Structure 1
Amino acid sequence: MSQFLSMGGYGGYVWSSFAIFAIVLALDAVAPLLKRRRVLRDLRGRARRAQKRSEETA
């Protein structure tokens, strides 16, 4: 098992590459969810402000 993990002396490079790939893949999956949440929050705020403006003018 240790021989498999060391991968002929290149284990550090190989496993760090896998780790970086996994982190980037996770961030790539989470980023649109966070962006969606931010956009929805902005839209709700805009709708509230527009409603307040229409109530003030009425």
Structure 2
Amino acid sequence: MIWDSWSDLIAMGGYAKYVWGSFAVVAVVLVGEQVALALRHRSALKAARTAGESS
């Protein structure tokens, strides 16, 4: 697609809510995955420290 202006790009030919909505969903999922990984990593480190102290 070729756009004449930035507003045409943002409007996406009338499909903006679907296009930008899908981008938003993907962004939320990616951020959520990063948060979940960080929490799991923190939990694993805590469990490893606890296991190391009890041995």
Same fold (TM over 0.5): yes
**Normalization by structure 1: what TM-score?**
0.64
Give the Å deviation of 1:36: 1.1
Runs (5+) with no aligned partner, structure 1: 52-58
2:17 matched to 1:32?
no
Q: Deviations over 1:3-53 (max 9, x none)?
A: 2111111001100100111111122233222101011112323444x26xx
The structure whose Rg is larger is 1
One-letter amino acid of the counterpart of residue 27, structure 1: G
Of residues 41, 44, 50 in structure 2, which corresponds to 1:45? Answer: 50
Runs (5+) with no aligned partner, structure 2: 1-5
**Normalization by structure 2: what TM-score?**
0.66
> Aligned-residue CA RMSD in angstroms?
1.8
2:7 matched to 1:2?
yes
Structure with the largest fraction of helix: 1
Write the distance in 2 (CA, Å) between the matches of 1:32 and 1:11. Answer: 31
